Amino acid sequence: MASRQKIYPLTKAGRAEFAQQLAMPLSEDMFRSPFLPFARFAYILPRDLVETRFNEFLQQTIDKRKHLEEAAEERCSNASDTWVINYGRAIMEIPEQNLRTHMHELITLARAEPEKDAAE
């Protein structure tokens, strides 16, 4: 599937300005995930809901990785593109592996905590 985005060539002045911006110190990397607050408080939620949201999040993670794989096949035009896509792959593979390995722990927390509350 071809991209629908129009690609505009950079002028010499635009390229120089772009290079100047890239040369500036990098800002702090940010990571924000709506899943993490959900996971943090999973123990107050019903097990079925936690399992459903967990599976939805896992599927979103898988879909994003597949999208990156498709982009790699369609758009890798130079070594820099390949490096960036490989970096993205590494960043996305680790959370997916962790989710698959530890999903039962989070679901168990949701199931176990109400029993604890009932005993108090």
pTM, rounded to two decimals: 0.71
pLDDT tens for 93-103 read: 998 999 999 99
Q: Domain coordinates of the chain in residue numbers? A: 39-110
Q: Is the dihedral of CA 99, 105, 108, 113 positive or negative?
A: negative
CA distance readout (Å), 101 to 10, 42, 97, 104: 46, 17, 6, 8
Kindly tell me the burial class for residue 24, based on how many C-beta atoms sit within 10 Å of its own C-beta (0-12, 13-18, 19 or more).
exposed
pLDDT tens for 71-85 read: 888 876 788 888 888
pLDDT tens for 42-81 read: 999 999 999 999 999 999 999 999 988 888 888 767 888 8
